[in-house]
Amino acid sequence: EAGVAQSPRYKIIEKRQSVAFWCNPISGHATLYWYQQILGQGPKLLIQFQNNGVVDDSQLPKDRFSAERLKGVDSTLKIQPAKLEDSAVYLCASRIAGGETQYFGPGTRLLVL
């Protein structure tokens, strides 16, 4: 079974630029999560999707971050414009409906200069 796929793995941009990350969850997993992990910290949930609907985006900085999961499968997370403090690893995870275990992708490491 293929795992959660993410791309790109690494991205370096300058502040005020835009960036987008892509995630393809495990096939059949209805729930998809985006996390931000700052160096030395645990993952912080940014947004949770159930199919193509948003379940929780309470910690998403909506003035600069956006995310979509239009067809209920893959998802994109965008930052526009980026700030220095957005430098982090962005993790995508998925979970089967009714299940308790999240499966994580390898993450995208973002560096904002």
Partner 1 sequence: AQSVTQLGSHVSVSEGALVLLRCNYSSSVPPYLFWYVQYPNQGLQLLLKYTSAATLVKGINGFEAEFKKSETSFHLTKPSAHMSDAAEYFCAALKTSYDKVIFGPGTSLSVIP
What's the rounded Cα separation, in Å, for the pair 34 and 44? Answer: 9
Helices and strands per DSSP (H, E), number in the chain: 0, 11
Is 36 one of the binding residues for partner 1 (CB under 8 A)? no
Give the contacts of 67 (CB within 8 A, at least 6 positions apart): 34, 46, 47, 49, 57, 60, 75, 76, 77, 78
Residue 79 burial by CB count (10 A; 0-12/13-18/19+): exposed, middle or buried? buried
Q: Which is nearer to partner 1, 34 or 65 (CB)?
A: 34
Which residue in the set 25, 34, 88, 107 belongs to the binding site for partner 1 (CB under 8 A)?
A: 107
Is 53 one of the binding residues for partner 1 (CB under 8 A)? no
Min dist. Cβ of residue 43 to partner 1 (A): 5
Which residue in the set 67, 91, 110, 112 belongs to the binding site for partner 1 (CB under 8 A)?
A: 91
Which stretch in 11-19, 66-74, 80-88, 103-111 sits in contact with partner 1 by CB under 8 A?
103-111
Which residue in the set 43, 49, 69, 82 belongs to the binding site for partner 1 (CB under 8 A)?
A: 43
